[in-house]
Amino acid sequence: MSVWELLPITVKALHPLPVLASGGIGDGLGVARAMRLGAQGVSLGTRFVACDETAVHSAYKERIVHAMAEDTVLNELYDYDWPNAPHRTLRNKTYADWQAAGCPPRGSKPGEGTSIGHRSNAIGERVQWMRYSIGTAPPDFDGDIEYAPLWAGTSVSDVNEILPAADIVRSLVREAEAVLLGSQ
């Protein structure tokens, strides 16, 4: 069920509590649509991956900028840390290898137990990153980004450039106001 179907139901069920919309929103038009459906605010994830201030690998940001919604897939590929929790990622080498192998379950996935590179952990230590483990490629990741999880929602189609966060927020507000004020 999309956010656009779920949002009005949630707003009605939780009234008078405030509701934040999340999922599939990447531009001011989406913000305005969510507000019209009763949301008091929004949460954007994918749009802020391609942000100057986001501490992720530059190749990941570039993949976001050049991707379209059709390049994302809902899957349970990274189920080692999040079992039974479908997630949306960009298609990459890990996904292609897994799909070519017939989408085998945990324990039978191609390349299981292999390192895809090294990254710094939360306390600054360099550690191996194992294939199919969750995480986000930090700027110092030294492996092939195409083996790392590339989290992205369908709003990736709305992301066309890497910008400072302030510019993204200004653009979202300007676009949403134009839609909301233009309809009054």
Residue 11 lies in a domain: yes
pLDDT at 124: 87
Same domain, 83 and 126: yes
Same domain, 97 and 35: no
pLDDT at 16: 96
pLDDT at 184: 54
pLDDT at 121: 86
Same domain, 177 and 128: no
Strand partners, 42: 21
Q: Which residue has the tokens 């929103």?
A: 25
Assess whether the previous peptide bond of 18 is cis (omega < 30° from 0). Answer: no
Same domain, 11 and 74: no
H and E: helices and strands count for the chain = 5, 6
Cβ(47)–Cβ(53) below 8 Å: no
Residue 123 lies in a domain: yes
Residue 62 lies in a domain: no
pLDDT at 79: 77
Residue 145 lies in a domain: yes
Q: How many CB atoms lie within 10 A of CB 5?
A: 10
Same domain, 36 and 111: no
Structural domain of 22? 1-51+162-184
Same domain, 140 and 167: no
Same domain, 166 and 134: no
pLDDT at 181: 92
Same domain, 177 and 147: no
Q: Which residues of the chain have pLDDT under 50?
A: none
Nearest to 149, CA basis, from 130, 165, 163, 162 = 130
Same domain, 35 and 6: yes
pLDDT at 51: 96
Same domain, 145 and 166: no
Domain count, the chain: 2
Same domain, 83 and 130: yes
Residue 59 lies in a domain: no
Q: Go through 113-126 and write b for each residue having 16 or more CB atoms within 10 A of its CB, e for each that does not.
A: eeebbebeeeeeee
Same domain, 8 and 36: yes
Rounded to whole angstroms, how far apart are CA atoms 58 and 181?
37
Rounded to whole angstroms, how far apart are CA atoms 65 and 60?
9
